[in-house]
Structure 1
């Protein structure tokens, strides 16, 4: 929220400098994000009037002006050459006299005005535009001042340029500070300076006409006030003082009626709306929207409504037409224009939960919605109608202007529940001694009504405070007003208990470092993704949908990390990355009826952590020692094995929605499936426009964090015996089955390891192998820790292995 300091000081003027005031606001929770002067430094510029403006004799685009600068031209009018297109007799403008300094330019040095000569004509000063004074970017001509601007007055004094702009970064609980008066109320409580509350005098009605209004949804609108004003002049010019204040609040002037509504919103924090009365058909109905209804808004957008959005509709002959988006923006149909003569002024209380998030559905936000979704005082609707009416009569009124009575309807207002503050607990939470008198004084300064008991103060929140709901809210108010700078400098006292991780577990950061050591780079992605990713890459037809997505495509929660990694790959490929190896450790979201609500869970939603990786491009970076080859399934399989080591994983052919059906395996550890590894399905490679298929893996994090506790054994004292076997098996026999059968063979505990080191498949000239068979060369290691192995014992063990694979798998020795 942005506002000028001078406006704030009209409501509360503490004896503080601008810097001290900004510090006070920040330390009380209203962070001053920016503090800057209204205008840069310059001097010697006064109000002047052009008496005559004649064509320059030697230049088509220059005029020779005769200028009256009041006391600054004691010898009479000044002659000044000017090239502005609007330089004409009779207007009052800023004049930089000789010796004046304009704001610094790009070089940082001020521009000093001296006597000059332009095309042979002397000039004794300079007439200024708003851009030359750095008051705005408008360079269309001279800055025209009001006709009653006093001649000779310093322009800084006349335009109140020795002012500062404060920009506050308010947290959502400070909705009562979204107005100049609201901030002033806080400053008064913080400093003790008096709060000046201008009296709002009611405008006496001149007729009895009322517009019929019916509230059908009390859960949408708690109070609705309005009044008819007839005979106005909508083309009246907004006063300069109002235009200036709106501009310093970051709001451009639109028209007198719109400016008045915006001005009161910045002044008291209540958004309002002014309808063209003659465009309303019948009366107004306040209700929830209906599916399929449409509304053209003031911003030109046409939106489609549903039952979750509140509306104001008019009703004529039993037919209803939506005229406004409740608490957010008015409709184009009943907007005021230059032809408007009669208006209906509306101020209402909209329930915060009925407005929150609605404008974001339509990809825009408004000042009104920003305030209503945080809570606007429901007690002042009539007073604000009177304030707006008075300004309309003052600015747009005339002899024919008449006002009707205020029609005020109350459906249901917030019930303020008392909140108790225990003084002893407040002192404990804040960390400094407090008395009940101190706390009572804070509540009195804040205007919070309370009752006192023994060590307890019970506060009934006023109508403008929606944030006071629990005891901690009152504790915050106490220390905020007393001052955070009053807190004693005491060291924190807390027991420090070391949390030792079990040796059977490793931390997630250690796992990240392990993945990074395998040449993967970590990425962090949104947990909400495109619905297409879930359907295609996760096989999830019923994803968890977001009620209020930050962007239309990111509408569901992910149940797999693969879609996020594919998007990262596409992002890198558009930037011509030659090689991509990325991973993500993140949470996924799946429906699970067994999950109950707790501090770390939501009912019906399982949120496990996963680790996923993607490799695309060359297997290794370019080097001289080996030829370049593309990464394949076995490269990534080896990375997964390295992540699980020393635990041994089993890879079983399987299918996954995102992966190639013939190049995909599920990963099993101790008989439990912990994830999948495989190449991207060709269908999705084409759909996502990838030049070649990446290889991916996705694993359950809990299984990766578990590890076996190391068991130390002595170095063997005996020699290992190594034997090689060439076994012929059918192609349908998995490698893991062969190894498992060998290790389970009855060798008397001599078998220590079995490793595949060669695979041979038959060709047309091969003998001994039939079609559909392959030869596996396996190296066996035998060891007896106690005695050396003899050839007889080794041969017996090898024969036991051969018998086992023959009987169990139908294998035979090659060449036998």
Structure 2
């Protein structure tokens, strides 16, 4: 909401010395978000006056039209003497001009030598096109009040006197407050609302522009039929006849609209916009001759269409509230009017020269349900100044005053006649009341305001207050956001000053902290970050087409998604069942921006639909929900396990003086899973597998043995190199690798609390062993056999070499392991370490057919 300071002063007696910055500070202290203060015309300097064109001489011989004009600038002509023009007082000024949209006798704005226009453009007497030019005839663009340079000079209405100060006439110097109005402060989308806040902040009286004498409703007004009183609980209709179709908005009205961020269109439209800015009540003007029959308010019927003022034909929804006449819809209620009943611009008959246009108008001032208007505006992607106000809450009590104000301005500015008929359709509603203990704001703020302060502050915002210890507060019609005691407490606190609230650190009750799941989540994130991965959180929204790109089977459980009713993007309406789409998208974007060596990770929730989904119940807000209510709500939500995923591309180890780089490969993705498992304290089983997005020959299946299970294994994820088809479909770098696993299932299989390793004072005995096995035997199976065979003395086992070649035969491979043995209570002998090693080799030979290399 843009609020010109000069306009605000009409309703509030602000101190004459107060600047826009001062008012900004006061309003910010009262809780309004005043983002900026714009200083209009700060660099403008006179003489800038109204002139009358006396003569025009067309100069020839130039590439563009050039006119040599003499302009009467009144007594201001003498001002030029100080700048060396030699003109006497009242002498016309000679000015060279390139615009052609003005004629002899027109009133224009003239900047004389010595003037400075916006942008530091200084006007001086100079010779141009062979003539002496002593000033400039200005366009709106040059004056900083519009962008109509293509349309030429600003031509003023003829009633303005020659020599009038144009800076004052056009209100070129002003300050404009730009206020970001929050959804709960809809009343501040008007000068009336902001003036009320300014009056409270400065402790002065408010001249309420809505306090008008409004005639009583009668049966002579324009007929109105409201079929949906829930959607429209108030509708006022007034008629003005005999308007002059040639009447134009006066300069003061146009300038106020411009400063408030709106453009002038026509007198009737400008007046409705002006009153909306002034009182906060959106209005609409209909050409009476284009409306057939009574005006109606109802819900749209299936299949109905409406062409709105933006010339777009819209298919209406049965939930849309529409304005109708005998032909059907003529407007989207509270959003935008229809093109068929708009006010017609004045046009001249080419034969007779007679002016035709709208002479009789019907004024609509109504109050619509905020939720209905908000849904209609979003459904049609049609946000307007009216819908912004209605969806935040408009004062229903201001409708009659706004209609009267509009009628008065049309009669004053267009010479119309106010029809005595007044139509009022009102659904009776009792004023809202709130019962609040007098000390409730004290307890909320931690300060002792006292009853008198509480009552005074509530009365300042327009509330009626009765009672002593228990206050009964009747909220004003313009504050629909005040619904419970805490809202009233907030009003008292903000008006007394947020800066006066004490700084008190909260005292959380003992015994509370992070849950096991939260601690696990943080440990995993730290572990992956420590391994060189960068966290890349993503939105949980996906398109169902991504599952085709990931090469998932048609019956894959990951294809069963939860779809949002009102998604942020129509292209991504579903909640993710895997973290890979978001992570791979982040990898693709970063690779496209020049970062080719990437290792990203994410831990987050995925969403799986339940077999029998229940409808969520609305929980109470005045008490803690019961356990049964919480269970019911939980059962209405999708299952939300927490997953962890990584993606890699480019070099895993960069090149340097230490050697060449090493590209990321499937083994790095598997190692990321092992890092997570070690952090949680779970035993991870890694074996060959096949699953959609991964390369069938370079995919590892990740599994665990559930705690307390029967010895079976449970697959919790996959890791490896992505399938070339998936890489191509998603536009990823070649040989991209990825891993994803279910953190919750991994935690269930873990030891719970991760134990720190024990430290022994006895020396370690190291034994190396190289085993030759069939190339199809997984290294994990060999390692498992060695661990079991070595027994309790084995401290660690590490694979440090894999060798294939003619020396060991085709289809065979050599796996070299380093075994570390240690006893907790003694120093091991060579015989004990060797015996443990031999037992490990023997079990590996029995299990997987391993043979000692060189034996």
Same fold (TM over 0.5): yes
Q: 1:652 to 1:219 in 2, by over 3 A?
A: farther
Distance in 1 (CA, whole Å) between partners of 2:140 and 2:386 is 30
| 1:411-422 aligned within 5 A | 411=427, 413=429, 416-422=431-437
Task: Tell me by how many angstroms 1:651 deviates.
Answer: 1.9
* Native 8 Å contact 1:58 1:119 kept in 2: no
Determine whether 1:649 maps to 2:695.
Answer: no
Distance in 2 (CA, whole Å) between partners of 1:679 and 1:13 is 73
Q: Deviations over 1:488-515 (max 9, x none)?
A: 7x55355488988799996766654543
| 1:252-401 aligned within 5 A | 252-280=263-291, 282-290=293-301, 292-316=303-327, 321-338=328-345, 340=358, 342-396=360-414, 398=416
* Native 8 Å contact 2:298 2:321 kept in 1: yes
Match of 2:446 in 1: 431
Distance in 1 (CA, whole Å) between partners of 2:278 and 2:723 is 61
Determine whether 1:406 maps to 2:413.
Answer: no
What's the secondary structure of 2:143's corresponding residue?
Answer: coil
Indicate the larger mover: 594-603 or 345-354: 594-603
* Native 8 Å contact 1:361 1:548 kept in 2: no
Determine whether 1:163 maps to 2:179.
Answer: no
* Native 8 Å contact 1:296 1:303 kept in 2: yes
* Native 8 Å contact 1:51 1:90 kept in 2: yes
Match of 1:126 in 2: 136
* Native 8 Å contact 1:528 1:558 kept in 2: yes
Determine whether 1:40 maps to 2:47.
Answer: no
Determine whether 1:50 maps to 2:64.
Answer: no
Distance in 1 (CA, whole Å) between partners of 2:408 and 2:431 is 31
Determine whether 1:68 maps to 2:72.
Answer: yes
Distance in 1 (CA, whole Å) between partners of 2:298 and 2:691 is 49
Q: 1:582 to 1:305 in 2, by over 3 A?
A: farther
What's the secondary structure of 2:495's corresponding residue?
Answer: helix
Match of 1:213 in 2: 225
What's the secondary structure of 1:687's corresponding residue?
Answer: helix
* Native 8 Å contact 2:218 2:422 kept in 1: no
Q: Deviations over 1:111-165 (max 9, x none)?
A: 2x44433345334433333333333333343332221223222222222233221
Q: 1:534 to 1:284 in 2, by over 3 A?
A: farther
Q: 1:563 to 1:707 in 2, by over 3 A?
A: farther
Task: Tell me by how many angstroms 1:679 deviates.
Answer: 2.8
* Native 8 Å contact 2:32 2:181 kept in 1: yes
Task: Tell me by how many angstroms 1:58 deviates.
Answer: 8.0
Task: Tell me by how many angstroms 1:762 deviates.
Answer: 8.5
Determine whether 1:2 maps to 2:15.
Answer: no
* Native 8 Å contact 1:12 1:187 kept in 2: yes
What's the secondary structure of 1:131's corresponding residue?
Answer: helix
Distance in 1 (CA, whole Å) between partners of 2:74 and 2:768 is 114
Match of 1:442 in 2: 457
Match of 1:632 in 2: 665
Q: 1:283 to 1:72 in 2, by over 3 A?
A: closer
Distance in 2 (CA, whole Å) between partners of 1:813 and 1:222 is 91
Counterpart among 14, 25, 28 of residue 26 in structure 1: 28
Q: 1:528 to 1:278 in 2, by over 3 A?
A: farther
Corresponding pairs, count: 793
What's the secondary structure of 1:43's corresponding residue?
Answer: coil
Q: 1:475 to 1:794 in 2, by over 3 A?
A: closer
Task: Tell me by how many angstroms 1:268 deviates.
Answer: 0.9
Match of 2:625 in 1: none
* Native 8 Å contact 2:560 2:608 kept in 1: no
* Native 8 Å contact 1:203 1:389 kept in 2: no
Distance in 2 (CA, whole Å) between partners of 1:235 and 1:546 is 53
Q: Deviations over 1:302-343 (max 9, x none)?
A: 334434433334455xxxx43322321223343333354554
Task: Tell me by how many angstroms 1:234 deviates.
Answer: 4.9
Task: Tell me by how many angstroms 1:725 deviates.
Answer: 5.3
Task: Tell me by how many angstroms 1:299 deviates.
Answer: 2.0
* Native 8 Å contact 1:382 1:406 kept in 2: no
* Native 8 Å contact 2:6 2:174 kept in 1: yes
Task: Tell me by how many angstroms 1:468 deviates.
Answer: 0.7
* Native 8 Å contact 2:304 2:315 kept in 1: yes
Q: Deviations over 1:738-762 (max 9, x none)?
A: 33333334x6634444444555679
Distance in 1 (CA, whole Å) between partners of 2:116 and 2:775 is 96
Determine whether 1:688 maps to 2:730.
Answer: yes
Match of 2:145 in 1: 135
What's the secondary structure of 1:132's corresponding residue?
Answer: helix
| 1:179-218 aligned within 5 A | 179-198=190-209, 199-202=211-214, 208=220, 210-215=222-227, 217-218=228-229
Counterpart among 251, 259, 262 of residue 251 in structure 1: 262
Task: Tell me by how many angstroms 1:448 deviates.
Answer: 0.5
Task: Tell me by how many angstroms 1:451 deviates.
Answer: 1.3
Match of 1:667 in 2: 702
Q: Deviations over 1:527-576 (max 9, x none)?
A: 33434336755854443333443333243333332111121122234334
Distance in 1 (CA, whole Å) between partners of 2:378 and 2:735 is 38
State the TM-score, normalizing by the size of structure 1.
Answer: 0.86
Counterpart among 490, 494, 504 of residue 492 in structure 1: 504
Q: 1:95 to 1:494 in 2, by over 3 A?
A: same
* Native 8 Å contact 1:149 1:158 kept in 2: no
Aligned Cα root-mean-square deviation (Å)? 3.9
Q: 1:248 to 1:790 in 2, by over 3 A?
A: closer
Q: Deviations over 1:381-436 (max 9, x none)?
A: 233233333334444455xx6737333323475x5542233333312333332121
State the TM-score, normalizing by the size of structure 2.
Answer: 0.82
* Native 8 Å contact 2:220 2:422 kept in 1: no
Q: 5+ residue gaps in structure 2?
A: 78-87, 346-356, 617-628, 707-713
Match of 1:677 in 2: 719
Task: Tell me by how many angstroms 1:684 deviates.
Answer: 2.7
* Native 8 Å contact 1:633 1:663 kept in 2: yes
Q: 1:87 to 1:720 in 2, by over 3 A?
A: same
Match of 1:582 in 2: 600
Distance in 2 (CA, whole Å) between partners of 1:170 and 1:619 is 50
Match of 1:716 in 2: 762
* Native 8 Å contact 1:211 1:228 kept in 2: no
What's the secondary structure of 1:421's corresponding residue?
Answer: strand
Task: Tell me by how many angstroms 1:776 deviates.
Answer: 4.8
* Native 8 Å contact 2:799 2:816 kept in 1: yes
What's the secondary structure of 1:611's corresponding residue?
Answer: strand
Counterpart among 518, 523, 537 of residue 531 in structure 2: 518
Counterpart among 478, 481, 491 of residue 464 in structure 1: 478
